[in-house]
Chain A
Amino acid sequence: MSRDLRLFRLLRKSLRIEVVHLDSLRRRLERQAALPSALATPGSALELPKTPAADDLAHGQEFSATEQPAPEGLDLSKLKASLTEVDTTSAEALSTLPDVRELDENFDTAFQLSMNRGPLCAEPVIGMAYFFERVALNAEDMDISQGN
């Protein structure tokens, strides 16, 4: 379990928050016309509680060895167990496919950019429709923890 992996998980979490209000552009615009301040509070993505370095059991042991004795009531073994628990869940989450939805923003941005600067001489594109027909994530082929 590496730092990359944790970052990836955090990223996924924050992205999932964005993904919540996905809908057709039309319906979204209509809904938001009725509720003008619906998008005014998007900050939640940045306020994600930073999970402690829970992935690394070795880290935990290091801490337990170096830190002062735990205050009464705090059971170190229990803490360790909870840390490993987090570890396994994260591994599970990684083995499942990440949601394709997390890429929506990227596709949208790519579309906006490519429409702004066309293929011939960076001209604005006029009168094209792009049918987004299929997208698939093949995460199992990749070793995401390698960060490549």
Chain B
Amino acid sequence: MAPTKTQGQPRGTIQGSVQSGLVDFSIRAVPLPTDVTNFLSANMTTLKRLHRDRRSAATVDDDVAAADEVSIEGAEVVVTPEDFWPKLEQLLQKAGREWAGLADQIWAFGPRRVGPNMLIDRTEGAPRS
């Protein structure tokens, strides 16, 4: 295996700095467990619905459009919005020690807030959005 890009840090770590040092940060990229990826891709609609509830239940007419995106991963279960977080938690638990308990630290999904990638807040202090 090639050496890590950042010396002395776990694989995937990038330490960046912008605005000539005003802000510096460290981000580690890790592949998601396949189960979690599949679950997230299958449940994009669910996530979208969760986000939509949040933006006040305005007139919801893109249900039809959303229905097209369901079941790209035919085998994966599509859960109801209420079941989303418990199920995700369970999958993360199953994925191993590194992932267990991360459900509450998820900052965002992406792209477009519903995709099969996640940004996880591991900074100290209060949790982020």
Measured between C-beta atoms, what is the minimum distance from A69 to chain B in Å?
46
With beta carbons under 8 angstroms apart, the residue of B54, B111, B119, B128 that contacts A22 is B128
* Chain A interface, number of residues (Cβ within 8 angstroms): 47
Dominant SS among interface residues on chain B: mixed
Of A25-33, A43-51, A58-66, A72-80, the one touching chain B:
A25-33
Whether B56 and A130, one on each chain, are in contact in the complex, defined by CB atoms closer than 8 angstroms, is no
* Chain B interface, number of residues (Cβ within 8 angstroms): 52
CB-CB under 8 A from A116, the residues of chain B are 110-112, 115
With beta carbons under 8 angstroms apart, the residue of B50, B116, B118 that contacts A130 is B118
Whether A132 and B123, one on each chain, are in contact in the complex, defined by CB atoms closer than 8 angstroms, is yes
Measured between C-beta atoms, what is the minimum distance from A146 to chain B in Å?
11
| Distance A36 CA – B129 CA, assembled complex (angstroms) | 17
Whether A142 and B21, one on each chain, are in contact in the complex, defined by CB atoms closer than 8 angstroms, is yes
Measured between C-beta atoms, what is the minimum distance from B104 to chain A in Å?
5
| Distance A28 CA – B81 CA, assembled complex (angstroms) | 14
Measured between C-beta atoms, what is the minimum distance from B39 to chain A in Å?
11
Can you list, as one digit per residue, whether each of B6-22 has a CB less than 8 Å from chain A (1) or not (0)? 00000001000001111
Whether B123 and A135, one on each chain, are in contact in the complex, defined by CB atoms closer than 8 angstroms, is yes
Whether A28 and B129, one on each chain, are in contact in the complex, defined by CB atoms closer than 8 angstroms, is yes
Q: Does A67 contact B (CB under 8 A)?
A: no
